[in-house]
Amino acid sequence: MKPLRMLVVATVALLAAAGMASAQSWQPLTNQPAFTAGTVLLLNDGTVMVHHEDPNDGYSDWYRLTPDINGSYVNGTWSQLASLSSDYGPLFFASAVLADGKVIVEGGEQNFSQYVWTTLGAIYDPVANSWTSINPPSGWTSIGDASSAVLFNKTFMLANCCDRQQALFDEATLTWTATGSGKFDSNNEEGWTLLPTGNVLTVDAYTDVNDPTGTNSELYTPSSGSWSSAGSTIVQLWDSHGSYEVGPAVLRPDGTVFATGANGAGAGHTSIYSLSTQAWTPGPDFPDGLDVADGPAALLPDGNVLVSASPGIFELNTYFFEWNGTGLISVPRTPNSPNNSSWYGRMLVLPTGQVLYTDGSNDVEIYTPTGNPYPGLAPSALLTAAVLSRGSSLVLSGSKFNGASQANAYGDDAQDATNYPIVRITNVATGHVFYCRTHDHSTMAVGYSGPTYTHLDIPSKMETGQSYLEVVVNGIASPRYNVGIK
């Protein structure tokens, strides 16, 4: 459970693990929101959907950040979207963009600031700009701050925050089917990481007589609907001092999962899971008592993982690092960092390769990394027409449309994966950027190199003339394909 935000500033002396990386930078939005920005999701038309997190008048409200005509999110503008129903104002909830482009929101540790671990949920249609309420799985008395993931087969999987239950969502009927037999412990505080095998990896956040070390991890196998052990993380990643919090775990394109920990054993441990060996190796501790007792992480286009950490459990003074596979590199902080704890933040990889960061305030920042895209991850497309008509729709085929990773992680409380194709068209004469709407992708599998497709809607009001089309996944763009727009 999260505390009320503290009003004092904790201090910590930080020794950079590998020196300060000076070229990376944070930049505030030119047009900052008039609301307090929380959970973020990348819609399939390139806009960003942002949750209003204000105990006075928010929680059911959502807004959209639209990049400017030159494709800049820094210079983007805001508009309000439809609100959730009047009885549903969640905080710390499950969320995902589905393969058809709709958004699902489930549960909430709080509902309008009341700790009720609600079972309410809803699905958002961005075309109609409307929400439809969803009943909870049969027999569930809580969903709360639940884990969730869209599986490789496009099925949304949801946890009950407070026991061993999981369920699969049937979008056509808005109903649920139970799954997840053999779960070792409660889902509470766990995050889920989708693997290229189609399995889901989680780090357990409890200990008992069957695991006195408190280092167990598990794999969910969709074909059997069951859980099995993924081995010991060697070092404990969860906090055993009462919060049970863990940090985010991010799949990298080198076939490892970088998992971060809270202050469960006197230090903010990390551990790395190898897909090839199916075993864990301890990574470096965060320096100076820093850890991630809930907090965001994002996979940068170059394969590094951007992550925030703060001292102790829920204390203030956040620092940022990039994990490059061998060490934690200290990078610049946001203006609010001295007054933030790691759990305040949310990260979202943008189609530009930048990372959007919110912290529950009116200051939204964008991080610009410096590395080159990781080799071999760029999507490719097979265009069947050299001229595209405004307002038309087509099926766009190609490969690597779903990236190497879900890219964004937090743990429980928030999920905002971006492993789906975004398509933008740039007019050669003006340089103006127009995002298309993609939907009904063939798969949501990560690390999949076989043939894929998505449905593509060409904007009706975009500029005509010679242009180039790009497919972007997790901030990595395909080659430019010359097209005419009429």
Q: Which amino acid is at 221?
A: T
| Number of structural domains found in the chain | 2
Question: Are 190 and 249 in a shared domain?
Answer: yes
3-state secondary structure of 409: strand
Cα 51 to Cα 62: distance, rounded to the nearest angstrom: 5
Q: Give the model's pLDDT for residue 204.
A: 94
Question: Are 358 and 441 in a shared domain?
Answer: no
Alpha helices by DSSP H, 73-188:
none
Rounded average pLDDT over 396-417: 96
Q: Give the model's pLDDT for residue 23.
A: 75
Residues 189, 141: contact at Cβ < 8 Å? no
Question: pLDDT at residue 15 above 60?
Answer: no
Rounded average pLDDT over 159-168: 97
Percent of the chain surpassing pLDDT 90: 89
Question: Are 391 and 292 in a shared domain?
Answer: no
Task: Please name which of 411, 299, 406, 400 lies closest in space to residue 345, comparing C-alpha atoms.
Answer: 411
Cβ contacts of 389 within 8 Å, gap of 6 or more? 458, 485, 486
In a domain, 39, yes or no: yes
Burial 228-258 (b: 16+ CB within 10 A, else e): eebebbbbbbbbeeebbbbbbbbbbbeebbb
Question: Are 204 and 309 in a shared domain?
Answer: yes
Mean of all residue pLDDT scores within the chain = 93
Question: Are 269 and 401 in a shared domain?
Answer: no
Question: pLDDT at residue 7 above 50?
Answer: no
Grade residue 264 by pLDDT with cuts at 50, 70 and 90: low
In a domain, 10, yes or no: no
Residues 411, 438: contact at Cβ < 8 Å? no
Rounded average pLDDT over 24-39: 97
In a domain, 19, yes or no: no
Q: What are phi and psi of 289, to 5 degrees?
A: 75, 10
Grade residue 17 by pLDDT with cuts at 50, 70 and 90: very low
Cα 430 to Cα 444: distance, rounded to the nearest angstrom: 34
In a domain, 455, yes or no: yes
Cβ contacts of 139 within 8 Å, gap of 6 or more? none
Q: What are phi and psi of 177, to 5 degrees?
A: -125, 130
Question: Are 384 and 343 in a shared domain?
Answer: no
Convert the pLDDT of each residue in 196-237 to its tens digit.
Answer: 999 999 999 987 656 777 899 999 999 999 999 999 999 999
Question: Are 69 and 161 in a shared domain?
Answer: yes
Rounded average pLDDT over 85-104: 98
**Pick from 317, 343, 368: which residue ends a domain?**
368
Question: Are 350 and 405 in a shared domain?
Answer: no
Grade residue 266 by pLDDT with cuts at 50, 70 and 90: low
Question: Are 356 and 397 in a shared domain?
Answer: no
Domain containing 152 equals: 25-368
In a domain, 43, yes or no: yes
Residues 145, 161: contact at Cβ < 8 Å? yes
Residues 346, 296: contact at Cβ < 8 Å? yes
Grade residue 1 by pLDDT with cuts at 50, 70 and 90: confident
Question: Are 323 and 457 in a shared domain?
Answer: no
